[in-house]
Amino acid sequence: MIISKLLYKILPLKTFSKIRYKYYTYRQNLYKPITEEKFRKILTQKLGIKTGSVVFIHSSIDFLNTEVPAERILDILLETVGTEGTLVFPCWHFNSRAEIYLQKDKVFDLKNSRTVMGVLPEIARLHPKAFRSIHPTTSILAIGKYAEELIQEHHKSIYPCGEMSPYYKMMKYDAIIVGLGVTCHFLSFIHCPEDVLKEKFPVKTRTDEVFAGKVKLWDDSVITVDTLAAHSNITNRDLPTFVRKYLNKATFSQYSVRGSNFFRADSKLLFKRVVELAEKGITIYTG
């Protein structure tokens, strides 16, 4: 763990990611795969998912040492939250910086643009009851009781993770945030307090320029959605140290089971804590 933190600080992100992938692949080969029964217990007993839960899910099937197919994982998650619950996934569709993507004047096709956020969100995108938010850079997908409510106003603010976003709205339902096969590096909810605080946040995290992103809707009409993009400042961040130093276990906890990483965060507690720390000038950013 100490070596990983050191490498994260000194290596370029792409190099670190390649080394991490090789390490996780090696580690998984040391353990028996997680069975479906064990996976269900992790969801309920470790991550606290239950009937009626609203759950924001970050995932990597490649890093999840399980014998359960990705399609079945989605079914298990839906069965666990039941008809009263809601699953939420990041569902954006490009790998470059948002600013660069928006400058290319490309069109985000709400119906057909595949997500780059992994196998599980892509399977969820194709679910017949899935709703996808109209946002040119930070589209969110949701399935379940509150799905449409969570995503329907996402495009009405220039702040992708602000008050109109699913990130903020899901706190109304005491949402939990989980990682399946991933660590806190993927905790995108951390940007929600930043967009809510706006200029009061001690680090500039958004561009000055407002971009007009193009979105192709379900009826094939094309609209423009005004949005800010991430500022280059956010590339210098250290989430593992921030989590270790400033978040208690009720707010954020990580687990390793048979070579696979899992995490759980309480959305309300995390939002409150990040705001408290920001008021003291403490953030995830290092420079």
Condensed to tens digits (0 to 9), the pLDDT of residues 65-80 reads: 999 999 999 999 999 9
pLDDT band (50, 70, 90) for residue 31: confident
Q: What are the phi and psi torsion angles at 141 (to 5°)?
A: -110, 145
pLDDT band (50, 70, 90) for residue 29: low
Task: Provide the percentage of residues in the chain whose pLDDT is more than 90.
Answer: 83
Q: What is the pLDDT of residue 17?
A: 56
Q: What is the pLDDT of residue 28?
A: 57
User: What Rg do the C-alpha atoms of the chain give, in angstroms?
Assistant: 18
Q: What is the pLDDT of residue 59?
A: 96
Q: 88 is written with which tokens?
A: 């939420």
What pTM does this model have? 0.89
> Which residues does residue 59 pair with via DSSP β-bridges, in sequence order?
180
Find the mean pLDDT for residues 133-152: 98
Asked whether residue 127 carries a pLDDT value surpassing 70, the answer given is yes
Q: What is the pLDDT of residue 1?
A: 44
Secondary structure E strands in 27-175: 54-59, 86-90, 107-109, 130-132, 140-144
Find the mean pLDDT for residues 93-118: 94
Per-residue pLDDT of 176-212, as tens digits, reads 999 999 999 999 999 999 999 999 999 999 999 999 9
Of 90, 52, 106, the C-alpha closest to 224 is 106
Rounded Cα–Cα distance for residues 190 and 188 (Å): 5
Encode 238-259: b = buried (16+ Cβ within 10 Å), e = exposed.
Answer: bbbebbeebbeeebbbbeebbb
Q: Which of 29-38, 42-51, 122-131 has the lowest mean pLDDT?
A: 29-38
